[in-house]
Amino acid sequence: MDQPIGIFDSGFGGLTVARALIDLLPAEDYVYIGDTGRYPYGSKPLDDVRGYASELAHSLVDDFNVKAIVVACNTATAAGLDDLRDELDVPIFDVVTPGASAVVRASRAGRVGVIGTVGTISSGAYVQAVERASRQTDVGIELSSAACPGFVEFVERGQLSGDEVMVLVERLLAPLTEAKVDTLLLGCTHYPFLARTIGEVMGPDVVLVSSADETAFEVSERLRELLLLRKPSEVGTRRFLSSGDVDTFRDLGSALFGADLVAAEHWER
């Protein structure tokens, strides 16, 4: 079906999900909106974030005629997507449920860690999602979570490594190394950009899980079932929009994302 798939996040983080989707479904057209003019979401009241998510999702349907929406933002998902799912007539995918399933499946010892924004962790969304996912395994799951304020800001500045990043990562992940988690879910779509430092701090025995691939598989399966996928022989287009400074979005976006992101447009709220 010749309509694009819409994706949104507060900024660059959702590009990790866009990457997985484009790699898996290259024939599709994509419209990505990064709400960099209002980022970060993680420290804002969830009611505000729910309002932003609603504007973005309605714009993707009304202005870009998307056939499905991928909410590539854990904080927006934690704020609640039920109203959007009632209001809009397109499938709406999130990253929390696929992430929780992936981390529970990947854990051998059942000591699972989740990190995310203050909004995501304090909402309890992962406690519920991991609880649901753990019903499908015989391994007893023990969940430890930590909010990581500051990580998103590093990514949005393009600062992905170095001493400052290391010091903050070590400090905020200390409860998880103490809990001896064997698997760690990066419960914010920005965090895979910091995976090298996070991996160094957690050590080689801890498996890092990002929800991007799992989400892409779920989108692919559902859209195939709904007969909404384009023919694999087609060549898809990609549009990237930002509510903030478009030149910054293009420059940092292409550094993070690569050659698919060579131009950015302004998204008007």
Active site residues: 73, 188
Q: Would you count residue 19 as binding ligand DGL (CB under 6 A)?
A: no
Q: Which stretch binds ligand DGL (CB under 6 A): 3-11, 159-167, 193-201, 233-241?
A: 3-11
* 98 near ligand DGL, judged by CB under 6 A: no
For 193-237, list the strands marked E by DSSP: 207-210
CB of 95 to ligand DGL, least distance (A): 7
Look at phi and psi of residue 115 and say left if phi exceeds 0, alpha if psi is from -120 to 50, else beta: beta
Please identify which residue in the block is written with the tokens 């691939």: 213
Q: Of the candidates 36, 59, 75, 107, which one interacts with ligand DGL according to CB under 6 A?
A: 75
Nearest distance in Å: CB 180, ligand DGL: 25
Among 4, 6, 34, 40, binds ligand DGL (CB under 6 A): 40
Nearer to ligand DGL, 73 or 143 (CB): 73
Q: Is 7 helix (H, G, I), strand (E, B) or coil?
A: strand
Stretch that binds ligand DGL, among 38-46, 61-69, 195-203, 246-254 (CB under 6 A): 38-46
- Three-state DSSP class for residue 32: strand
What residues numbered 157-196 form the site for ligand DGL, per CB under 6 A? 188-190
Using CB under 6 A as the binding rule, whether residue 42 contacts ligand DGL is answered as: yes
- Write down the least CB distance from residue 71 to ligand DGL, Å: 9
Q: Which of 48, 69, 51 is nearest to 60 (CA)?
A: 69
Closest distance between ligand DGL and the C-beta of residue 143, in Å? 18
Interface segment toward ligand DGL; rule CB under 6 A; list 6-14, 171-179, 240-248, 256-264:
6-14
Q: Does 145 participate in binding ligand DGL (rule CB under 6 A)?
A: no
- For residue 169, the SS3 value is helix
Q: Which is nearer to ligand DGL, 4 or 11 (CB)?
A: 11
Residues in contact with ligand DGL, counted by CB under 6 A, come to a total of 17
The residue (of 188 and 209) whose beta carbon lies closer to ligand DGL is: 188
| Cβ neighbours of residue 78 closer than 8 Å, sequence gap 6 or more | 46, 96, 116, 119, 120, 123, 125
Spatial CB neighbours of 228, under 8 Å, sequence gap ≥ 6: 1, 67, 68, 91
Axis crossing angle, helix 15-24 with helix 246-257, rounded to the nearest 10: 50
Sequence-separated (6 or more) residues with CB below 8 Å from residue 5: 21, 25, 28, 29, 30, 31, 66, 67, 68, 69, 70, 219, 223
Under the binding rule (CB under 6 A), the answer on residue 94 touching ligand DGL is no
Query: Long-range contacts for 246-254 (Cβ within 8 Å, ≥24 apart)?
Result: 248/36, 249/34, 249/36, 252/12, 252/156, 252/158, 253/12, 253/15, 253/34
Q: How far is the CB of 11 from ligand DGL (least distance, A)?
A: 6
CB nearer ligand DGL, residue 4 or residue 187: 187
- The site for ligand DGL (CB under 6 A) is made up of 9-11, 13, 39-42, 73-75, 117, 120, 152, 188-190
